[in-house]
Amino acid sequence: MKDIFEKCYEPQLQDQLREADLYPYFRALESRQDVEVIMEGKRRIMLGSNNYLGLTVNPEIVEAGIKALEKYGTGCSGSRFLNGTLQMHYELEDELKNFLGKEAVMTFPTGFMSNLGIISGIVGRHDYMILDKEDHASIYDATRLTYGKMLRYKHADMEDLERQLKLVPEECGCLIITDGVFSMGGDIAKLPEIVALAKKYGARVMVDDAHGLGVLGKGGRGTASHFGLEDEVDIYMGTFSKSLASLGGYMAADYKIVDHVRHNSRPYMFAASIPPAQCAVALAALRYLEAHPELPEKLNSNADRFRKRLIEKDVKIIEAPTPIVPIYTYEPENTLLKNKQIYEAGVYTNPVLPPACAPGECLLRTSLMASHTDALIDEAADIIGEVMHRQ
């Protein structure tokens, strides 16, 4: 019998990167997740975080987590289905459903698990799922938990989406699943066209709004709100780990749809619930966002400033109207080298390599926060501009 661990001892890419001193992953923070951090003993401007509203260090939100920890202890020690439900879970779900304008919300321990739980709880043996090729990995993994058939369309290609819809038999159900904001390119889904095609063919629409909540729409209500399509999107999925500064995820939809998933989703029924402190933080961050609807505007203003500064320095970027500002580096070796040089100069960014991008289209993914100052944005742009033009 072949040793199942044999693959673990074969030469691997990470070994080559470590040997070349270009390994970019698992860098440890020695300070709070903020606009400036300490990593490996040195100050870095943080441009690699999804902390879009900068709320991870907000004093009243931190205090909410501390109070919940003191009141409820460290964990719930069980699933929502059985012994792991707190009254605070219901509070979070009720306030989030009102914020999003849906009949019901259910929460999951992580955003990744939200997609696993929602999709596997909805899609049956004779159903179809149609995905954008650049949808998040958790969506693709979720399709493997179902007995349904998965089809894909070229990124943002509505003609290809329609071709896939035509392949779905009349007697089968169909769920179109798209990111609202695509996490690598920063572009926004063509939601009006997707909704129109769904209506034409009788499909339903689910939007993964992990990078849309707190970023787009009225007061940060997300991608559907951005397009005025709140009533046309059947399922919203989102996370608490980005704009809401916590950990967990959610599904928002009609009550009967949510209730069905609650009672049929194995990733939901057999996983422990969100711990008290994380639930309290998400709830406090949601309330803070509702009280400060100007935050998404500040966030996007910061992103506009950063894009403008990079363009002035002739740095090639993907121009998208979100806080995600990807910088073209094209080839993997150049991407890893520029990432290292920028990091050593004092700015943290994320390298994007295949399969997260197409070959020859590698990126440095940067993302802004509402709490970045103009001075920090300009300093970071100066550093990146200088490094990108190095020979």
Domain edges within the chain:
12-46+294-388, 59-288
Query: Are 342 and 335 a contacting pair, CB within 8 Å?
Result: no
pTM: 0.96
Domain 59-288 has CATH 3.40.1160.10: no
Q: What percentage of the chain exceeds 90 in pLDDT?
A: 98
Segment 142-163 shows an average pLDDT of 97
As a whole number of angstroms, the distance between CA 55 and CA 141 comes to 30
Domain 12-46+294-388 has CATH 3.90.1150.10: yes
59-288 has the same fold as 12-46+294-388: no
Could you give the residue numbers annotated as active site? 183, 211, 242
Instruction: Tell me: pLDDT of 391 over 80.
Output: no
Query: What are the pLDDT digits (tens) for 279-336?
Result: 999 999 999 999 999 999 999 999 999 999 999 999 999 999 999 999 999 999 999 9
Query: What are the pLDDT digits (tens) for 12-28?
Result: 999 999 999 999 999 99
Unique residue bearing structure tokens 């939601």: 191
Q: How confident is the model at residue 357 (pLDDT cuts 50, 70, 90)?
A: confident
